[in-house]
C-alpha cells in the first residue's frame, strides 16, 4: 500500500513515521508547502518525497491519503482527494469554520469516498473499555461524567490566532469522546473561560483555561475542562460515574496529580509531557485502522459527520462563553442527512 501525506509539521512527521512502520504500508510519499522541510523529513525517515502538494495529489498510484497540514489548508485538500476518489485520513478539525465543515460533510457523504477523521482517543484502550462498561450496563445508570484535557505547556503564540480557540482546538477531543463513550448527543452547553497566563491568548480572543457543562440528550451531566497550563504534566482523563459503579480513564502511574493525603505514594510516574506520549499506542491503532479503511475492509470509524457533531458542540461552547448564556445545540447549524441507507453508513461512529 502506498500512502501520500500532506503536511510534515510535528503531527505530520509523527504520522509519517507511524505509517512507515506499519506492515500494510509499503511506501509513504510526503509533501509540504515548505519543500525543504519535506525533503528533510523524508531523508530523516527514509520516505519518498514529492516537490509540492499539487504533484502529490496528481499521482495515480496512491492507495490512501493523509492530511496533516495547517487547519486552514485541510478543507481544500479534502475536497480534492474526495473528488479524486482517494480514501483519506484527515486530522481534526477538517475545516476552520462551521459552514465549511457542514459543506464538507455534504460533499463526502454524497461522494461515498471513505474519510477517517483523526480523533485518536477512540482507539485508546481506556476509553474503549469505558465505552464497553456504559454499553453493557455494568455501571448502572450513568448520571455524570468528568472529562478533561490539560496541556503541560501552552502552544506558541503564533498558533493561537488560527487554532479556532480552546474549545474547537482542545476540548473538541473531549466532546467527540463523550459521544463515543456514551452513544448520546449533546443537547445543551454552558461554558466559560479565563486568562491567567500569557497575554497572547486574550489578544487573539481566546482563553487559556475553559470549562463547560454539557447536558446530554438522556440528561447525563458532563463537566469538561481544558487548560494550557498543567505544569505537573500532560493530563487527559475521563471519569464515568454510574448508579452501580464508576470507571476512570487515565488513572494510572502517569497521572499528573499528587495526593495531599499522608502516606499515599501513588502515582509513581513518570508523567506524560504531551499528547504524542499519552496516546502513542492509540495513534498506531488509529492509522492501522485507516489502512483497513483505505483497503475497503472496514467503514470509517470516525466520519466527517462525527467531526461535525463535535465541532458543533465546540461552536456552542464558544457562543455560550461569548454571550454568557446556555446554548442549545439546536441553535447551531447542522448538515442535512442524506437519504438512507447512505445516511446510516455516514452516521456510524462505532469502532
CATH at residue 48: 3.40.50.720
- Is the omega angle on the peptide bond into residue 270 within 30 degrees of 0, that is, cis? yes
Three cell numbers, residue 192: 466559560
- Is the omega angle on the peptide bond into residue 43 within 30 degrees of 0, that is, cis? no
Distances (CA, A) of 238 to 115, 135, 148, 249, 333: 27, 16, 6, 5, 28
On whether both 55 and 17 belong to a single domain, the answer is yes
- Is the omega angle on the peptide bond into residue 171 within 30 degrees of 0, that is, cis? no
Residue 160: DSSP 8-state: G
Alpha carbon distance 148, 175 (integer Å):
10
Q: List strand residue ranges (DSSP E) for the chain, in order.
A: 2-6, 27-31, 48-49, 64-67, 88-91, 115-118, 142-150, 186-194, 209-216, 221-227, 235-242, 246-249, 327-328
CATH at residue 141: 3.30.360.10
Q: Are 52 and 35 in contact (CB under 8 A)?
A: yes
On whether both 267 and 129 belong to a single domain, the answer is yes
Per the domain annotation, does 62 fall within a domain? Answer: yes
Per the domain annotation, does 280 fall within a domain? Answer: no
Alpha carbon distance 272, 278 (integer Å):
6
Q: Are 2 and 66 in contact (CB under 8 A)?
A: no
Sequence length of the chain is: 351
Q: Say what the pLDDT of residue 338 is.
A: 73
On whether both 57 and 153 belong to a single domain, the answer is no
- Can you spell out the DSSP letters for 14-42? HHHHHHHTSTT-SEEEEE-SSHHHHHHHH
Alpha carbon distance 22, 287 (integer Å):
9
Instruction: Compute and round to an integer the Cα radius of gyration of the chain.
Output: 20
Q: Say what the pLDDT of residue 339 is.
A: 61
Residue 170: DSSP 8-state: I
Which residue range is the domain that position 149 belongs to? 124-275+305-331
Per the domain annotation, does 311 fall within a domain? Answer: yes
Alpha carbon distance 168, 247 (integer Å):
26
On whether both 192 and 250 belong to a single domain, the answer is yes
Measured N-to-C along each axis, helices 10-20 and 280-294 cross at an angle, to the nearest 10 degrees, of: 70
On whether both 49 and 158 belong to a single domain, the answer is no
pLDDT along the chain (351 residues), means of 10: 97 97 98 97 97 96 97 95 98 95 97 97 98 98 98 94 93 98 98 97 97 98 98 97 98 96 96 95 98 98 98 98 98 84 41 49
On whether both 133 and 257 belong to a single domain, the answer is yes
Q: Look at the chain and report how many structural domains it folds into.
A: 2
Per the domain annotation, does 281 fall within a domain? Answer: no
- Can you spell out the DSSP letters for 305-332? HHHHHHHHHHHHHHHHHHHTS-EEGGGS
Amino acid at each position: 500500500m502506498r500512502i501520500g501525506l500532506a503536511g510534515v509539521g510535528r503531527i505530520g512527521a509523527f504520522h509519517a513515521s507511524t505509517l512507515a512502520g506499519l506492515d500494510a504500508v509499503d511506501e509513504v510519499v510526503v509533501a509540504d508547502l515548505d519543500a525543504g522541510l519535506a525533503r528533510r523529513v523524508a531523508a530523516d525517515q527514509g520516505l519518498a518525497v514529492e516537490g509540492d502538494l499539487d504533484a502529490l495529489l496528481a499521482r495515480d498510484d496512491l492507495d490512501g491519503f493523509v492530511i496533516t497540514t495547517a487547519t486552514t489548508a485541510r478543507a481544500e485538500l479534502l475536497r480534492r482527494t474526495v473528488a479524486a476518489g482517494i480514501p483519506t485520513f484527515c486530522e481534526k478539525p477538517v475545516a476552520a469554520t462551521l459552514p465549511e465543515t457542514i459543506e464538507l460533510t455534504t460533499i463526502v457523504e454524497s461522494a461515498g469516498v471513505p474519510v477517517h477523521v483523526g480523533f485518536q482517543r477512540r482507539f485508546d484502550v481506556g476509553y474503549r473499555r469505558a465505552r464497553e462498561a456504559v454499553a453493557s450496563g455494568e455501571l448502572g445508570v450513568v448520571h455524570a461524567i468528568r472529562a478533561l484535557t490539560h496541556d503541560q505547556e501552552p502552544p506558541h503564540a503564533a498558533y493561537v490566532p488560527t487554532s479556532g480557540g480552546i474549545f474547537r482546538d482542545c476540548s473538541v477531543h473531549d466532546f467527540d469522546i463523550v459521544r463515543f463513550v456514551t452513544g448520546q448527543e449533546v443537547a445543551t452547553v454552558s461554558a466559560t473561560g479565563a486568562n491567567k497566563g500569557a497575554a497572547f491568548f486574550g489578544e487573539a480572543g481566546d482563553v487559556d483555561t475553559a470549562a463547560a457543562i454539557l447536558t446530554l440528550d438522556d440528561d447525563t451531566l458532563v463537566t469538561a475542562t481544558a487548560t494550557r497550563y498543567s505544569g505537573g504534566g500532560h493530563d487527559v482523563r475521563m471519569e464515568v460515574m454510574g448508579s452501580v459503579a464508576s470507571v476512570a480513564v487515565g488513572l494510572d502511574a502517569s497521572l499528573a496529580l499528587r495526593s495531599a493525603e499522608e502516606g499515599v505514594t501513588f502515582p509513581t510516574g513518570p508523567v506524560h509531557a504531551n499528547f504524542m506520549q499519552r496516546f502513542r499506542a492509540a495513534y498506531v491503532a488509529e492509522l492501522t485502522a485507516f489502512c483497513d479503511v483505505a483497503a475497503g475492509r472496514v467503514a470509517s470509524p470516525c466520519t466527517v459527520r462525527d467531526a461535525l457533531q463535535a465541532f458543533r458542540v465546540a461552536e456552542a461552547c464558544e457562543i455560550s462563553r461569548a454571550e454568557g448564556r446556555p446554548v442549545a445545540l439546536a441553535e447551531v447549524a447542522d448538515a442535512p442527512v442524506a437519504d438512507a441507507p447512505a445516511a446510516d453508513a455516514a452516521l456510524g461512529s462505532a469502532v
